[in-house]
Amino acid sequence: MQKVGYIGLGIMGKSIARNILKAGFPIVVHNRSRASVKELVAEGAAEAFSPAEVASRSDIIFTNLPDSPDVEKVVLGPDGVLDTAREGQVFVDNSTIKPAVARKLAGELSGKGVQALDAPVSGGDIGARDGTLTIMVGGEESAFQKVMPVFKAMGKTITHVGESGAGQVAKAANQIMVAAQMVAMGELLVLAEKTGVNPSKVVDAIKGGAAQCWTLDVKPQRLFAGNRKPGFKAHMQAKDLNIVLDTAREYGVPLPATAENAQLFNAMLQMGMADLDNSAVIGVIESLAGIKIQIENQEK
């Protein structure tokens, strides 16, 4: 059985690594803060103290990190993955980073005979815990097939999109839609509240029709209950939208609606809401409208 290494045990990374462990794969884990490492070690994982150590003990090396510079540092920096990487390994990045950086890393790793997959995920903390993530993969088909048994422990919808960088392009497209849904949901809930109509009943009325989407299925009841704790943090959504806009500029693609949505998520950061859920973008709209969704609206 393939030996797996996992670097980056945040909200999603820890749950992903746990599901890989539960599926029976030997796994070695590393994280800058050690509490998550200790938690997984208590469940049967092995502990490592650097990315280089993870690479030296693994056949498949995963990373799940906040942004492009973090992944570059872990792979190319001192005591990084590249230091101990060897021919025949596969490197898989679950982070959301710039497609250009994914291609750069793939080129660097190929020099050591390591195949690289950019494999960003979608589904939030719930999907990570339940093993139902959507996984979008760029890279060589042969590497994709090698890693497929591990992917199946992580997610339900697993798509090989194309060559290196294609997974990150798919994730950029995903984040365009996610941001649009979060903002639209915030607008419709605030509209209902401001007009004196029960937002909960409005959601019930529209989510079975053309407006149906994952966001309306999952998020409103959490908001009605006053829960804006993160499944996917707002500052990460803002970061992802900045990646989308940078990539769009690189290729000369106009994204006017996404640019406006990015401003709303960046406003969240300025308003002290960076660590709230991305659905809490409703807070910006509430502030502009001078009204707040009432918790009691969860009652029918």
**Active site (catalytic) residues:** 171
Structure tokens at 133: 């993530």
Cβ-Cβ contacts under 8 Å for 227 (sequence gap 6 or more): none
Assess contact for 171 and 157: CB atoms under 8 A: no
The four Cα atoms 259, 265, 270, 274 give a dihedral, to 10 degrees, of: -150
The HSE-up count of residue 78 (CA atoms within 13 Å, CB side) is 0
- Cα 91–93–98 angle (5° rounding)? 125
CA separation for the pair 108, 128 (Å, rounded): 29
CA separation for the pair 163, 178 (Å, rounded): 24
Q: In terms of DSSP bridges, do strands 121-122 and 133-138 run parallel, antiparallel, or are they unpaired?
A: antiparallel
**CA-based torsion, 250, 255, 258, 263: positive or negative:** positive
DSSP 195: T
Assess contact for 181 and 215: CB atoms under 8 A: yes
Using CB atoms within 10 Å of the CB of residue 123, give its burial: 0 to 12 exposed, 13 to 18 middle, 19+ buried.
Answer: buried
